[in-house]
Amino acid sequence: MNRHNFIDSHEKLQTLPESSLPSLAQEIREELINTLSKTGGHLGPNLGVVELTIALHRAFRTPDDKILFDVSHQGYVHKMLTGRRDRLSTMRQHGGLNGFLLRSESQHDSYGAGHAGTALSAALGMAAARDHYNQKNHVVVVAGDAAFTCGVSYEALNNVAATTKRLIVILNDNKWSIAKNTGAIAQHFNRIATSPAYAHLHEQAAKFIEWIGGKKARSLAHKIETSVKQILLPSVIFENLGLRYYGPINGHDIPLLIRTFEFLKTQQEPVILHILTEKGKGYAPALAKPHKFHGLGKYKLETGETDSLSTPTYSEIFGKTLARFAADDPSLVAITAAMPDGTGLYNFAEAYPHRFYDVGIAESHAALFAAGMSAEGLKPFLAIYSTFMQRAFDMIVHDIALQKLPVKLCMDRAGLSGDDGPTHHGLFDIAYLRAIPHMIQMQPRDEEEFVNMLWTMLHYQEGPIAIRYPRGVGVGVAPRKTPLLLPIGQAELLCDGEDLAILGLGNFCTIAQEVALALLKKGIKAAVINPRWIKPLDENIVRTFAKKTALLVTLEDHALSNGFGTAVAEFLLAENIQLPLLRIGWPDHFIEHGSLPILRKKYGLTVEAITEKVANFFLKIS
C-alpha cells in the first residue's frame, strides 16, 4: 500500500522530509503505470518527469508561481500534486481529467496546451505581465528538447532578453518527441549530453549545490559558468540569445533539482537549465518502446502489450499504399512532422529511407519544404494530423495554393479524435481549406475509396490536393489491387429515393446508409449520396436531387460552421434553389474529450438521433 498516497498538494508535499521524496517518486510512478494500464494515456512522458515535477512543486508555489508545461501531455504528475490525485483513474475519460492541462480544470494549470512549442512564448507573455504589475512571482517553462524543433520556440527565445529579466526555462532532454528526435538541434543537445566532460560537469554542479549561499555561491557559480562555456561551447547559443545556461544535470536527482531551482530563483536574468531524463523510466516495456508508450490505449500491466486490431487503420493503409506507389514512381516522396508512426509512414521510411523526411515538430517548415520539392518536380505527400495542419495554414495559402503547386496534403485524425480532446479534434480542416482558391479536397467513405483517392492525388498535378481521413479503422472494405482514378468533382449515388437525399461525407456515409434504412421503416424514402469531393462540390448531383426531393440532408464529421453542409448551402443560394437543407455535424464550440460513442450520443450524432431529427424535420415541411 502506498505510504504517501495522501500527498496531493503543495502543503502536504512540504511535510515530507527530503529523504522521503525518492520513495514518493517511486509510488507515483507505480500509480501511473497501474492506472494508465486501465485508461490509456501518455505514460512514457510522465514516467520521465516524476522527479522533476516533485522538485518543481517543492521549490515553487502554484498558482502564484506559474509552471507551463510545453504540450502538457507530461502534466499528469503535476495534476496529482495539485489536488487531482484521487481522480487519476478518470484520465481521458468523459467527464474526467483531460490528458492535457486546462485552465478551466484547475487554477494550478496556468496555461492550457496540446500542441508543441507554445510554452516559451506564453510564459514570456506572463513574465511581461508580471513585470508590468511589479509582481515577484516566478514563471517556469518545462519544455522537452523536441519543442526546440518548433520555429515558434526560437521566435520566443529571440525576444526573451528584451522582454524580462526573470524567466526560468527547463530544457527536459530525453531525445524523444513522439518519435526519435531528428535534425541539427537534436544532434546539438546530444553532443552536450554525451560530452566526455559531462561527468566532470555533474560533479562540479553537485559541489556548487553544496556551496549555495552568500559570496561563496556567487564566486563558485562564476567559476562553473566559465568552465561550462569552455567545456561545452555549444551552450553559447542560448547565452547569445540572452539566457544564462546551466547544465546538463541529472533530471532524476530530486535533491539536486530542488537546490538548483532554489538557486535559479535568485537570479536576476533569464536562465535555462538543461536536464537529462529518461522517457519511460521505471517501466521496462516503455523503455524498450518509447514511441509506442508516448501515448497509447489500455495495455497489459505485466507485458505492456496492447490489443491488436484485426482491421488495419487508415494510417497503416496510408503508409503501405504510398510505399507500393513509390515502387513505380521515383518522384514520390513523403514528409511528416515528428509523426512517422502516427501517420503510418514507418512502412514508407523503411522501404525508401532516402525519400522519407521527418522534419521534427515544424509543420510550417514542412509545408514550405514540400512546396520547394514540388516546385522542382517531386510529388510530395505531406502527412500531418488535421489539428496540426492548422499550424501551416499561411504556407498552404501563400506558398502552395497561390503558386498552384501540386503538394498532396494528407490529414490524418480528421473529425473527432476522441480521448485526446479539443486540442486534437480535427473538426476545422474543411473550413480552413475550403476557402482557398485552387484547392481540391476530398474524404473517402471506406478503405478502398481511400486508396483510390491516394492514387488520384498522385496523378493530379494541376495544383494542391487534400484528403482528410479519420483516426482508427475503417469499415473493413479491402482495397483492390489495381486502384482507380476518380473523376474529380463527381459524387457517387449509393441508393435512390424520392422523398429526401442524404449526403453522408466520408466516415459518416455509413451512418447515412443506416439512417436511410431506418427512415424507410417510417415510410420515408431517402437517397444516399457519397459526396467524395468537398471541393469541387458535385453541383450536378446536388441540383438533380434538389429538384427531385423535398429535403437535402448533409452529414459530416466536422464543425457545422463553414463545413461541408455550408458548401451545399452556398451552392443552393447561388443557384436560387428554394429547398430546405438540414445540416448535421458538430456544434459551434470546442468538443470535450471522451470516447466516440459517448460524444456522438451526447451531441445527437448516433443513427437513432439523426433518424429522429431527419424524420421530424421532413414531416414538418411535408
pTM: 0.89
User: Which residue reads 532578453 in cell numbers?
Assistant: 161
Sheet of 139-144, strand order:
66-69, 139-144, 168-173, 271-276, 244-250
Tell me, what's the pLDDT at 308?
74
Which are the catalytic amino acids? Answer: 279, 363, 391
| Structure confidence by residue, pLDDT tens digits, 415-443 | 999 899 999 999 999 999 999 999 999 99
pLDDT beneath 70: ranges in the chain: 1-2, 176-236
Angle in degrees, CA 602, 606, 608, rounded to 5? 115
User: Which residue reads 499550424 in cell numbers?
Assistant: 391
Nine cell digits for residue 590 = 470546442
Q: For residue 276, which phi and psi values (nearest 5 degrees)?
A: -110, 125
HSE-CB of 140 using CA atoms within 13 angstroms: 28
Question: Could you tell me if 143 and 120 are in contact, meaning their C-beta atoms sit under 8 angstroms apart?
Answer: yes
Nine cell digits for residue 18 = 527530503
Domains of the chain: 10-284 (3.40.50.970), 314-468 (3.40.50.970), 493-621 (3.40.50.920)
Tell me, what's the pLDDT at 235?
63
Measured distance CA(375)–CA(146) in Å, rounded: 29
Measured distance CA(333)–CA(246) in Å, rounded: 41
Tell me, what's the pLDDT at 197?
47
Tell me, what's the pLDDT at 188?
53
Smallest Cα–Cα separation from 235: which of 188, 275, 186?
A: 188
Nine cell digits for residue 317 = 493503409
User: Which residue reads 509582481 in cell numbers?
Assistant: 135
User: Which residue reads 510522465 in cell numbers?
Assistant: 46
Cα torsion 344, 349, 352, 357 to 10°: value is: 100
Question: Could you tell me if 538 and 502 are in contact, meaning their C-beta atoms sit under 8 angstroms apart?
Answer: no
| Residue 606: count of CB within 10 angstroms of its CB | 16
Measured distance CA(434)–CA(536) in Å, rounded: 9
List Cα–Cα distances, 411 to 202, 428, 475, 562, in angstroms. 44, 11, 19, 18
Nine cell digits for residue 129 = 505581465
Cα torsion 492, 498, 499, 502 to 10°: value is: 0
HSE-CB of 123 using CA atoms within 13 angstroms: 33
